[in-house]
A = this chain, B = another copy of it.
């Protein structure tokens, strides 16, 4: 999965019927960099994407995005024409500098 930061959302009145009711977020993919001193920082990488969301991620939260046919498995109807969905919101502590345990 890619990890990405939520930076906005988009609206599309004219769209596939089966997509009605689904929220579309704009996300910026990020890379996870572990520092020797134990901290973690996130770096923007690659281009923004639009992803569906039914978990309720808020702006600037870091989300886990599943792509391709796997994205559709998170929906009751797996025949919906969507190729990227939020499947998790990363716990804040994971990336808090210093306190985020790098590894169990």
Contact at A14–B73, with CB atoms within 8 Å? no
Q: How far is the CA of A88 from the CA of B17 in the complex (A)?
A: 10
DSSP class of A's interface residues: helix, strand, loop or mixed? mixed
Q: Whole-angstrom distance from the CB of A87 to the nearest CB of chain B?
A: 5
Q: Which of B69, B80, B87 contacts A68 (CB 8 A)?
A: B69
With A29-B47, A31-B48, A67-B83 known, 4 other A-B pairs at CB within 8 A are: A9-B103, A10-B90, A26-B32, A72-B73
A-B contact pairs, 14 of them (CB 8 A): A1-B84, A8-B34, A8-B40, A8-B102, A10-B94, A11-B91, A12-B90, A13-B89, A15-B88, A16-B55, A31-B47, A66-B81, A69-B70, A81-B85
